[in-house]
Amino acid sequence: MPTLTPNDNTQLCVALVQQDIAWLQPELNFTQLETLLTKRLSDYAHPVDLILLPETFATGFAVDLAVAEAQPGPILQWLITAAQRFQAVMAGSVLVKQGAKQVNRFYWVRPDGTISYYDKRHLFRLGNEGEYVEAGQSRAIFTLGEFRFLPQVCYDLRFPVFQRNRNDYDVMVNVANWPAARRHIWDTLLMARAMENQCYVLACNRIGTDGKGVAHNGGTAAYDFKGEPLVQSPDDQACVEIVQLRKNTLDEFRAGFPAHLDADEFMLR
């Protein structure tokens, strides 16, 4: 694996966590995550810049149960503490109270304690998510070094118009509780999004059976802008994969094949 240059904002090191989420047990999930990350990162020579966690990493996808926290709450506080401890951006989704319902909020927590977020736009109809969760109303772009990130959550992956690259991002991120029964669709759409948007794609999914009896087998992976896998986690195994992203490689590819210049103009409502 090529060596990253320290303090080079055109290169990023990302840790992707594949986790067996303990149902409705935040403290146990925190402990398991800290153990996984500490062991893996201590074996890695270069500090990571971003740590990506699955959708609802602290509770599981329990949208119909009273697990949403007020803002700020203990799950967000854990993310803040972990970002400081590992000196990396911590990112993953949390169910957060909002009015009579809640939002499925993707947090982007920096080591200095500053926070950005994106609320999941597309709610999973088969899981009745819309009955309990308010849909997000806007798209978000986060920055880290010279990279621009488009955050997405699970079911968002099926809606390419919302994810269309308007020349405003370099990396698409999707955190999920994507079931094993539809795993082929997950793998295929991730590659397609990377190719059609000429971007890196980072995907983080859970493993294990949740409290509803739904099985998940992983699929955590990173793809380059041609849809080629950079790293892929083994199925059904809790682990942390590390991938290195290079902005100059992406820029060179886009310059040599500038398909984005021929994209259709459109507006989302």
Q: In 3D, which of 158, 165, 110 has the Cα closest to residue 141?
A: 165
* Banded model confidence at residue 1, pLDDT cuts 50, 70, 90: very low
Class of residue 130 by CB neighbours under 10 A (exposed 0-12, middle 13-18, buried 19+): middle
Q: What is the pLDDT of residues 84-108, one digit of tens each?
A: 999 999 999 999 999 999 999 999 9
- What CATH homologous superfamily does 11-257 map to? Carbon-nitrogen hydrolase (3.60.110.10)
The DSSP H or E segment spanning 92 is strand 89-98
In the chain, where the domains are located = 11-257
Long-range contacts at 131-134 (CB < 8 A, ≥ 24 apart): 131/64, 132/63, 132/64, 132/101, 132/102, 133/63, 133/95, 133/101, 133/102, 133/103, 133/104, 134/98, 134/99, 134/101, 134/102, 134/103
The overall average pLDDT reported for the chain is 95
Distances (CA, A) of 28 to 42, 43, 65: 21, 23, 18
Distances (CA, A) of 96 to 90, 114, 159, 250: 17, 18, 23, 35
Q: What is the pLDDT of residues 5-45, one digit of tens each?
A: 555 789 999 999 999 999 999 999 999 999 999 999 998 88
Q: What is the pTM of this model?
A: 0.95
Q: What is the pLDDT of residues 55-95, one digit of tens each?
A: 999 999 999 999 999 989 999 999 999 999 999 999 999 99
Active centre residues (catalytic)? 55, 120, 154
